[in-house]
C-alpha cells in the first residue's frame, strides 16, 4: 500500500485523502477515500493503522496492506469458519492461528456444539485495535469457551499434543513478516499431526489471480502432509488484491463434499454471505484454479 502523496501518479495534488494498496508485480492498485486517520501504533511486529473511510466504515491497514473494513469483512470471516464447521460431523475443539481481529472467533462461537476455541495471535495490538475500532467483531471475546493467547502460532502448533483438535483455522495475513511461516510445509505438517481423525484444516490461501504460486504451494504442502481431500474455496473480498481470495479446506480422511447440508440450512444464527448454496458452489473451483491445482 502507498499512502497518497503529491508525488504519487495515482493522485491529484489537491486530493490528499485517498490511500492505496499497490501490487507492483501485477501493475495494480486498489484505493479507498478516507476522512481521517483514527489510530496508529507500531507493535513489536508490525505497523497497524485504522482509518475512517467515506463509504466503507473503518479500515485496518497492517504494514501498508489493507486487512479489513467494516463494510465487507463478514464475507471472509464467514467463509473461513462455517464451511469447515458444517463439514466436520461434531466439532468441539477449534484452534485459530492468527485471527487477531476476532471476527473468525465470533463466527466459530456461533456454533453451539463448539466447546472450546483457542486463538493464538502473535500480536496483541491487532486485537486491542479491533476492540477499539471494530467492537462488533469482538462480541464473543468474553465467551467462556474462548481462550485468547498472544504467542507464536508456529511454536504453539509445534508443541501441541497429537490428535488434540477437531478444526484448525489459519486466519493469517499475507505470507510475509510474522505470517510467513504459517504457509510453510513444517507448520502444515504439524497441523496434520494435531488434528484428530476426520479433522479439518482451513488456511487463508491468497488470490489465484494475483498469487497462484502461494495457493499451489499451500496445496503442495497439504498433499505432502497427508491431507486426503483439499478444496480451494474462492469468494469475493472487495478490498483484497484482485477483489477475491481463497481459503483452502483440507481434511484428514473426511470427504469434503459430504457437508451437513440439513444442519447448515437449519442453522440457528444469521449469516450475511454463507448459506448452503454458497457452500456447495464453492466446493467446485473455477476451471483455471482446478487445472493449476491438479498440476502440483
* C-alpha–C-alpha distance, residues 250 and 199, integer Å: 9
Choose the catalytic residue: 101, 166, 171, 174.
171
* C-alpha–C-alpha distance, residues 264 and 259, integer Å: 8
Return the bridge partners of 231, or none: 249
Contact 218, 100 (CB under 8 A): no
In 3D, which of 133, 141, 135, 138 has the Cα closest to residue 117? Answer: 141
Spell out the long-range contacts of 284-287 with Cβ–Cβ below 8 A and sequence spacing 24 or more: 285/231, 285/232, 285/233, 285/234, 286/208, 286/234
* 269's grid cell: 444464527
Is 63 considered catalytic here? no
- Tell me the three-class secondary structure of 187-236, residue by residue: HHHHHHHHEEEEEEEEEECCCCCCCHHHHHHHHHHHHHHCCCEEEEEEEE
State the DSSP code for 261.
H
Helix (H) or strand (E) holding 180: none
Residues 6+ apart with CB under 8 A from 275: 264, 265
Query: What stretches of 29-113 show up as alpha helix (H) in DSSP?
Result: 73-79, 82-85, 103-108
Report, as residue numbers or ranges, the catalytic residues. 171
Amino acid at each position: 500500500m502507498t499512502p497518497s502523496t503529491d508525488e504519487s501518479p495515482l493522485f491529484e495534488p489537491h486530493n490528499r485523502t485517498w490511500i492505496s494498496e499497490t501490487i507492483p508485480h501485477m501493475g495494480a492498485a486498489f484505493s479507498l477515500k478516507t476522512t481521517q486517520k483514527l489510530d496508529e501504533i507500531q507493535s513489536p511486529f508490525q505497523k497497524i493503522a485504522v482509518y475512517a473511510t467515506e463509504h466503507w466504515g473503518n479500515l485496518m491497514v497492517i504494514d501498508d496492506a489493507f486487512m479489513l473494513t467494516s463494510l465487507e469483512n463478514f464475507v471472509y470471516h464467514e467463509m473461513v469458519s462455517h464451511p469447515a464447521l458444517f463439514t466436520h460431523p461434531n466439532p468441539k475443539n477449534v484452534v485459530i492461528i492468527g485471527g487477531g481481529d476476532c471476527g473468525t472467533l465470533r463466527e466459530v462461537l456461533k456454533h453451539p456444539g463448539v466447546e472450546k476455541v483457542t486463538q493464538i495471535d502473535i500480536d496483541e495490538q491487532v486485537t486491542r485495535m479491533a476492540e477499539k475500532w471494530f467492537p462488533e467483531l469482538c462480541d464473543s471475546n468474553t465467551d467462556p469457551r474462548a481462550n485468547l493467547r498472544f504467542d507464536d502460532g508456529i511454536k504453539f502448533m509445534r508443541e501441541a499434543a497429537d490428535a488434540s483438535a477437531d478444526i484448525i483455522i489459519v486466519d493469517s495475513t499475507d505470507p510475509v513478516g510474522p505470517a510467513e511461516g504459517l504457509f510453510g510445509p513444517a507448520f502444515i505438517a504439524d497441523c496434520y499431526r494435531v488434528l484428530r481423525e476426520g479433522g479439518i484444516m482451513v488456511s487463508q490461501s491468497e488470490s489465484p489471480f494475483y498469487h497462484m504460486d502461494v495457493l499451489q504451494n499451500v496445496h503442495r504442502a497439504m498433499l505432502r502432509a497427508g491431507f486426503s481431500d483439499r478444496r480451494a474455496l474462492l469468494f469475493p473480498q472487495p478490498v483484497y488484491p484482485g477483489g477475491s481470495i481463497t481459503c483452502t479446506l483440507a481434511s484428514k480422511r473426511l470427504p469434503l463434499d459430504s457437508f451437513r447440508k440439513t444442519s447448515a440450512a437449519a442453522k440457528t444464527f444469521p449469516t450475511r454471505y454463507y448459506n448452503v448454496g454458497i457452500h456447495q458452489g464453492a466446493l467446485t473451483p473455477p476451471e483455471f484454479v482446478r487445472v493449476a491445482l491438479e498440476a502440483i
